[in-house]
Amino acid sequence: MKHIAKGINRRIIMGIFLLSPVLLASCQTPEPPVLVATPLGNNLPLQVASIDFFNDHNPQAVKPYIDHLYYPGLSDMLVNWGSETLIPADANGNLLMTVSRADLRELDIASNDDLKSLFTNEQRKLIVADLEAVFSFTHPVNNRTASIVVKASYQNTIADYTTPADSERIRQFVMSEAIARFDAEFRKQVLDISSGNGWPVAR
């Protein structure tokens, strides 16, 4: 009987030894999410003498909106993008950039039937950024005017196992990626309207 008991004990110990890497792996901290930023374009000279910025976005301080919790907020980031990217390059003319929407929302996937069908059970939150701004160009030569409405959005999820620090990284990443997509969409539209008469983009 002693030999049988020893054999059973050996098997139990061996089983624990073989399972230990699996148990340790399951207890390890998950790898942080890989977030690859989209680069912004270079400065864009425009045939205007001045550029004015008006932030007409009204943050909604109720769930699921969270942009009011950040400073600088998403609307501030969009105005900063305009002031750093758009360069006056003419003696006359004006551009008015009006930010009309800069929402950041955090949606609970588990409590939303429509969202649950789109994501896996491991995804807990959906972070969505929506941007919209109106660009109004005027120039005294031939009374030229032009107006474009630029919209962009970006979203990403936060998984159940994500740490609070990494969750915050994802929220910040969503905001910066929305700006990058807005940048690309603005360039596309302003180059489209400039293709005919070479205005308002400075060549």
Residue 9 vs residue 183, higher pLDDT: 183
Triad 114, 115, 117: Cα angle to 5°: 75
Q: What is the pLDDT of residue 176?
A: 97
The C-alpha atoms of residue 31 and residue 47 are separated, in whole angstroms, by 48
For 69-72, the CB contacts below 8 A with 24+ separation are 70/104, 70/175
Strand blocks (E) in the chain: 44-46, 50-55, 86-88, 94-108, 123-139, 144-159
Task: Give how far Cα 96 sits from Cα of 99, 124, 187, Å.
Answer: 10, 40, 16
Is 109 within the bounds of a domain? Answer: yes
Is 5 within the bounds of a domain? Answer: no
pLDDT in tens, 103-150: 999 999 875 555 554 555 578 899 999 999 999 999 998 899 999 999
Q: Which amino acid is at 154?
A: Y
Q: What is the pLDDT of residue 124?
A: 85
Is 188 within the bounds of a domain? Answer: yes
Residue 138 vs residue 27, higher pLDDT: 138
Q: Which residues pair with 155 in a beta bridge?
A: 128
Residue 202 vs residue 8, higher pLDDT: 202
Residue 40 vs residue 198, higher pLDDT: 40
Residue 9's pLDDT band, with cuts at 50, 70 and 90, is low
What is the extent of the structural domain holding 160? 31-197
**Are 92 and 49 in contact, with CB atoms under 8 Å apart?**
yes
Q: Is the pLDDT of residue 55 over 60?
A: yes
Q: Is the pLDDT of residue 202 over 60?
A: yes
Look up tokens 């995804």; give the residue.
123
The number of folded domains in the chain is: 1
Is 156 within the bounds of a domain? Answer: yes
Calculate mean pLDDT across residues 86-106.
97
Is 25 within the bounds of a domain? Answer: no
Side-chain half-sphere exposure of 31, counting CA atoms within 13 A: 3
CATH of the domain at 133: 3.30.160
Is 7 within the bounds of a domain? Answer: no
The contacts of residue 54 (CB under 8 Å, 6+ apart) are 96, 97, 98, 99
pTM of the model: 0.81
Is 11 within the bounds of a domain? Answer: no
Q: What is the pLDDT of residue 178?
A: 98
Is 202 within the bounds of a domain? Answer: no
